[in-house]
Amino acid sequence: MCAVNVLARISNVLVMDRRKFIKNSSLASGLFFVPSFVKAFSNHISTETGYKRLVIIQLTGGNDGLNTIVPFRDDNYHRARPTIGLKKDDIIHLDKDLAMHGSLQSLKRLYDKGFVSIINNVGYPNPNRSHFRATDIWQTASRSNQFLQSGWIGRYLDQFGKQPYDAMELDQSLSLALKGENQNGMAVQNAYYFYKTTQDPYLKNVSKHYKEAHLNEHNLGYLYKTMIDAESSAKYLYETSKTVSSSIDYPNNSFANQLKTTAQFINSGLKTRVYYGSLNGFDTHVYQENTHKRLLKMYAEGIDAFVKDLQSKDTFKDTLILTFSEFGRRVQQNSGHGTDHGSANSLFVIGGNLKKPGVYNNLASLSDLDNNGDLKFEIDFRDIYATVLNKWLDVNHETVLLNKFNQLNFI
């Protein structure tokens, strides 16, 4: 986006209510929406140890949980999936009843070290099977019939983002999860290019001639100040993170690049509390086998390299990785040798301080499905969020999730 176009778009929103602008403007997804408190980063470089961070990974499209964590001894599984059901040579045993997809070998190594907790049957009442709506529900932590305009991480920033810590998405645009009522996270794929964009001569000239006295109460003034804050934070991110390099070999794909950048940020000591990434392509309606195999391998190998990178700088002990998908798939395969949208699913928690590593709870019965042919959910996904907020980020989950939820024992 060139500087002239940016300012043209700024001029078109002058009469907008500021809060509506924050929530609706596409600028909020890119460079020119950065929370004003981020500027304080430059004066608050962390020298602390034990600074806990949360890394959230979304497997976008609806990962097939039953071919990820496999009930290989259950005849119901093989009857429901005569062609896509995994055979004994396709799996890695976890216990007497469950196995991992064979492509998760790198994740199994972390599992064997006690770094992985598998939480089964995660969902919510009256599930929605639309990608967009289901993603909104997971990202906002709403009920299935409730429509929230702020994400759960965004509300965390609203309540507890007064200090210089932030949430960051490793992408070009910002997900709803990181958008609050008053504060947003920021979308940054690469600290260097983020910094270079803020050095555009036209934008720097605009910032240089900005007169706060004339524009302070105007949306245009607000946006000019946001540009200045963006420049300050971009400089901090770049100059801090460039001091750290990795010796770990990452796979050559975009997902691994997200994780490599995240590790660079964490290992450089940025006071960022939440990182958000994603791996796309899990909507496997047809010919699922090869696509699913490839994606799970990409996920496992990327996570393995990421953990090694954090361990090399002794930051893994203070990092928790949460992997989810917006829904699971139907138990019964479809006519296209794939699976259709389901509901309850398995979720991975990865970290060095797990209270209950391994299989956290039994998989739901395949002989007692819900009315749509899906696994019955047992654990509300917001119980997991509540546990992470209370026990890991050390905040009151009720103020973020807008309700009281149960506490689990995985951390």
In a domain, 351, yes or no: yes
Mean pLDDT, rounded, for 294-313: 98
| Least confidently predicted of 72-76, 201-205, 303-307 | 201-205
Q: CATH no. for residue 88?
A: 3.40.720.10
The SS3 of residue 53 is strand
Which has the higher per-residue pLDDT, 186 or 315? 315
Answer yes or no: are the C-beta atoms of 148 and 121 closer than 8 Å. Answer: no
Mean pLDDT, rounded, for 99-111: 98
Structure confidence at residue 366 (pLDDT): 97
In a domain, 375, yes or no: yes
Structure confidence at residue 18 (pLDDT): 45
Structure confidence at residue 222 (pLDDT): 56
The runs of H, that is alpha helices, within 105-215 are 105-112, 131-140, 152-160, 191-198, 201-208, 212-215
Q: What is the pTM of this model?
A: 0.86
- DSSP letter assigned to residue 102: G
Residue ranges making up the domain that contains 345: 43-198+252-401
- Alpha-carbon distance of 18 to 135, in angstroms, equals 26
- Alpha-carbon distance of 224 to 102, in angstroms, equals 52
In a domain, 11, yes or no: no
- Provide the percentage of residues in the chain whose pLDDT is more than 90: 69
- Alpha-carbon distance of 185 to 35, in angstroms, equals 7
In a domain, 95, yes or no: yes
Which has the higher per-residue pLDDT, 221 or 49? 221
Answer yes or no: are the C-beta atoms of 176 and 139 closer than 8 Å. Answer: yes
The packing angle between helices 201-208 and 3-11, to 10°, is 50
Mean pLDDT, rounded, for 324-335: 98
Answer yes or no: are the C-beta atoms of 123 and 347 closer than 8 Å. Answer: no
Of 204, 261, 255, residue with least CA distance to 238: 261
Measured between alpha carbons, how far apart are the two ends of the chain, in Å? 43
Q: Tally the domains of the chain.
A: 1
Per the DSSP assignment, residues forming a β-bridge with 53 are: 319
In a domain, 31, yes or no: no
Which has the higher per-residue pLDDT, 327 or 10? 327
In a domain, 58, yes or no: yes
In tens, the pLDDT along 307-325 reads 999 999 999 999 999 999 9
Average pLDDT, the chain: 85
Mean pLDDT, rounded, for 276-284: 98
Mean pLDDT, rounded, for 96-120: 98
Please state the φ and ψ torsions of residue 158, each to the nearest 5 degrees. Answer: -55, -45
In tens, the pLDDT along 16-34 reads 444 444 444 434 344 434 4
Mean pLDDT, rounded, for 368-376: 94
In a domain, 246, yes or no: no
The SS3 of residue 103 is helix
Per 3-state DSSP, what percentage of the chain is helix, strand, and coil (rounded to 5)? Answer: 45, 15, 45
In a domain, 406, yes or no: no
